[in-house]
Chain A
Amino acid sequence: MENEFQPIIVGFLCNWCSYRAADLAGTARVHYAPTMRPIRVMCTARVEPEFVLKALREGADGVLIAGCHPGECHYVEGNIKALRRFTLLKAMLRQFGVEDERVQLVWAAASEGKQLAEAVDRMTEQLRALGPLRWRQRVLGEQPVARHALEVEVGAD
């Protein structure tokens, strides 16, 4: 267990549903993988493709975007716009050699804390199977400054 690869997932969570789902998972003490670093956004449509690319470049092994189910968007159809971008972004990321499992879009309503936790668990397992991404180090051949510092910190616990 100690030596098992703990992937880093950057999670962009919609303020109106999935962020509350994560809150619910916490207050309900649902056990799930501690791999996601949640970032609250006002809507999944706020997640620009640049955010995803930057997360992948700066050391994330995967990016999880979570928002309201279609038809339930606080801004009517922000989540549909996100789905359109996400669909095209995945097609483009395939050309960059980034596997589909590394960038995922899930719908989780405010009441679906358990479903969100399951999505994180599932994604964590998929990323473990794929292995680390480490873009700067392994693709660009740079020294892994940020990631290295992080690993030292985690290792000290």
Chain B
Amino acid sequence: MAKPTFAMYWAASCGGCEISLLNVGELILDVDAAFDVVFWPCVADFKYQDVEGYPDGYIDLCLFNGAIRNSENEELAHLLRRKSKTLVAFGSCAYEGCAPGLANLTTNAATIRTVYTDSLTTDESRTQVPRPVTQVPEGEIHIPVLYETVRPLDQVVPVDYIIPGCPPEARQIAAVLRAVLTGMPLPAPGGTIIGAGNVALCEECPLAKNVKQITRFYRPYEIVPDPGICLLEQGLVCMGPATRSGCGALCPQVGMRCEGCYGPLDGQDQGARMLAAVASVVAAGGSHIDEHAQAQEIAAVMDTLVDPAGTFYRFSLAHSLLRRARVADNSA
């Protein structure tokens, strides 16, 4: 009997998901023994034409990481959906846009200006900006077109499973791979989240939690937090209350606030939930002062939270209720 086939692809991502998969350790040898790798640009030399040549549904398990940001990403999403029996949105980019999705707060023009024009360079003599079409003596060269809005995989094609995390924890990946290898039944597909918990991160965080009274917000570099005490209480915007568990609260335990990479809980908007959680416990605007002073006092504390959209939606912006910012030139 032929071995089941395995593919992994990266779209708009950093490559960390690949490394995280290899972090499962010796289990990767079992994966290699059990599966026939038929497409995996990071580790094996297959061409897009090879995939196009496979019959539909040829790939048994396809882990797709990365967001859909350009025409190449989108083409491969459709291609791999067609060729795969089980398509998994692997990691935060494919699930909810992740850091590439933050580009949705601005325009392509502004992003390109920052990267190619405004940033410091060792070569001041020329400015080069990528062009979709370039004329060379041999003919025309095309590169993929950058889209105005970054989309998660499930906004482009139907996804069977989602493994959240930036990157997904090796322990969680291993659990899923073991289940697949031993033929254990997975939950019903249809964008189902696997390899993660079902409660807020705070539930698995061992830091001591007392009554929360935030008098001002701090960015991580501004203070050294007291060990053993909830970071949110200390004014760090720890995303624990609005984030799915599953990682084991690794970051808060070493004094780094949770940035929210496992995404929201079922049916929630991560940023809105975090905003609600954090704003109502701000210790400002007591009822003993008049309305005007009250509003000012509250505004002063909120001003210490730099970049609320980028903080609350660092990973989930492209998958949130609003999905992107409204800018002058994205009106249809």
Q: Which A residues are within 8 Å of any B CB, using their own CB?
A: 45, 48-50, 53-54, 56-57, 69-71, 76-77, 80-81, 83-85, 87-89, 91-92, 95-98, 107, 133, 135, 137-141
The residue that B280 contacts in the complex, of A45, A96, A97, with Cβ under 8 A, is A45
Give the residue name and chain of the B residue nearest to A45 (CB): B280
**With A57-B321, A91-B302 as contacts: A83 and B285 at CB distance below 8 Å:** yes
Query: How would residues 265 to 300 of chain B score, 1 for a CB under 8 Å from any chain A CB and 0 otherwise?
Result: 000110111011011101011110001001100110
- Contact A91–B326 (Cβ < 8 Å): no
- Contact B324–A92 (Cβ < 8 Å): no
In Å, the complex CA distance between A77 and B287 comes to 8
- Contact B272–A49 (Cβ < 8 Å): yes
Residues of B close to A57: CB separation below 8 A: 321-322
- Contact B298–A53 (Cβ < 8 Å): no
- Contact B282–A97 (Cβ < 8 Å): no
Closest 6 CB pairs of A and B: A97-B326, A95-B309, A49-B272, A92-B308, A85-B279, A53-B321
Q: Which of A71, A88, A141 has the most CB of B within 10 A?
A: A88
Give the residue name and chain of the B residue nearest to A56 (CB): B322
**With A87-B299, A139-B324 as contacts: A50 and B308 at CB distance below 8 Å:** no
- Contact A92–B299 (Cβ < 8 Å): no
In Å, the complex CA distance between A110 and B325 comes to 37
Residues of B close to A92: CB separation below 8 A: 271, 275, 308-309, 312
**With A84-B285, A87-B302, A88-B279 as contacts: A96 and B309 at CB distance below 8 Å:** yes
In Å, the complex CA distance between A87 and B287 comes to 16
Residues of B close to A96: CB separation below 8 A: 105, 309, 322, 325-326
- Contact A70–B302 (Cβ < 8 Å): no
- 8 CB contacts below 8 A, A to B, read A84-B284, A85-B279, A87-B299, A88-B305, A91-B302, A92-B309, A140-B149, A140-B324
In Å, the complex CA distance between A103 and B305 comes to 20
Residues of B close to A95: CB separation below 8 A: 105, 307-310, 325
- Contact A83–B321 (Cβ < 8 Å): no
Chain B's interface size range is 35 or more
Residues of B close to A91: CB separation below 8 A: 302-303, 305, 308
18 additional A-B pairs beyond A80-B286, A88-B302, beta carbons within 8 Å, are A49-B271, A50-B273, A53-B269, A53-B322, A57-B321, A77-B287, A84-B298, A87-B298, A91-B305, A92-B309, A96-B105, A96-B325, A96-B326, A98-B326, A139-B330, A140-B149, A140-B323, A141-B330
Residues of B close to A69: CB separation below 8 A: 291
Q: Is B332 an interface residue (CB 8 A)?
A: yes
In Å, the complex CA distance between A85 and B275 comes to 7
Q: Is B327 an interface residue (CB 8 A)?
A: yes
- Contact A138–B331 (Cβ < 8 Å): yes
Q: How near does chain B come to A102, taking the closest CB pair, in angstroms?
A: 10
In Å, the complex CA distance between A45 and B285 comes to 15
- Contact A83–B275 (Cβ < 8 Å): no
In Å, the complex CA distance between A81 and B279 comes to 7
Give the residue name and chain of the B residue nearest to A72 (CB): B287
Q: How near does chain A come to B173, taking the closest CB pair, in angstroms?
A: 31
Residues of A close to B305: CB separation below 8 A: 88, 91
Give the residue name and chain of the B residue nearest to A48 (CB): B276
- Contact B332–A138 (Cβ < 8 Å): yes
In Å, the complex CA distance between A6 and B238 comes to 42
**With A77-B287, A84-B298 as contacts: A49 and B276 at CB distance below 8 Å:** yes
Residues of A close to B280: CB separation below 8 A: 45, 81, 84-85
Give the residue name and chain of the A residue nearest to B271 (CB): A92
Residues of A close to B271: CB separation below 8 A: 49, 92
**With A87-B298, A88-B308, A139-B331 as contacts: A48 and B272 at CB distance below 8 Å:** yes
Q: How near does chain A come to B132, taking the closest CB pair, in angstroms?
A: 20
In Å, the complex CA distance between A56 and B207 comes to 37
Give the residue name and chain of the A residue nearest to B317 (CB): A96
Q: How near does chain A come to B76, taking the closest CB pair, in angstroms?
A: 22
